Chain A
């Protein structure tokens, strides 16, 4: 079985998937409904998104569990379904991966709790850690290859998620990315350089940036992280631009060509694991794959 380490050892770049949430909304998910419950109720639609990304060239795919922690699900009164929703998501992606002709890595996705940790907010570190342990345990039970912690803005919350995962498994590889959308820092004021130093110390297999205000922002993050590089593989997973409202619908303006340019620029800036976030689709990933194949011989 191919592992993320095998892919990294081959050199060059690794392509991840793009958005799940915004694609599911196009597939009929109602506004305000948690995408994670589709793992239980509409598994074939979630599987179809994964299949489309593999078809487009994604080598690392993320489970549909971004908001799968008890804190996020509790906002939909679904806090009792953490285990069910995360296991189901892992199984959906595992099955799609197993049935695919190409090697793909199944990454168990963990997003932020949505709460602010003490002392700034009310969430105690231990409570956050327990919630991440619960989610990671369900994902690992569902047989994911690695844990992917993303869209974080607080280093302590990343630490809670990493330690929570380590309660379940000492070995499973962990990737972490943060969102640098506020004056070049995260919402909580973390610079790319601080993130690089701290996340490296968590012994993650790769780290970087995701989401935010579009491609240019992430390239700057990668450039800063690269300048400190001690060899940690860097991840770039940008949104397809900033959404605009057209006839009442949110439209992400970055075309597949724009995202393809972003992918090449990210690679040149030092990113090795490259993909999309909100607003990106299998078409964007296919364009990224083509562009990288031409650019990186």
Chain B
């Protein structure tokens, strides 16, 4: 019913999730296996992990959560200036959804050709 309230709530929830996911992501990418600890971030090392669909799912979820949080934040910044009317807000939301979808597709595509 109160859509804005949900956006407010989700911004905090995704923020918290991102904090956890970010720490985990950093650990996975830089500390999980020996070659990574020595800074050898190569295609081979990453492909070995990414071929596992479980990791793909986690990374894709991470990207989508980050995109929601970031683009919703951007939407708030624009709304704050109060220059938009109701229709403008709808257009802005649609534009950001499209940008988010393209961005997510672009990121997910990276996994498809491995």
Asked if chains A and B come from one complex, the reply is no
> Which residues of A approach B to under 8 Å, CB–CB?
none
Q: Which residues from chain B sit less than 8 Å from chain A, CB to CB?
A: none
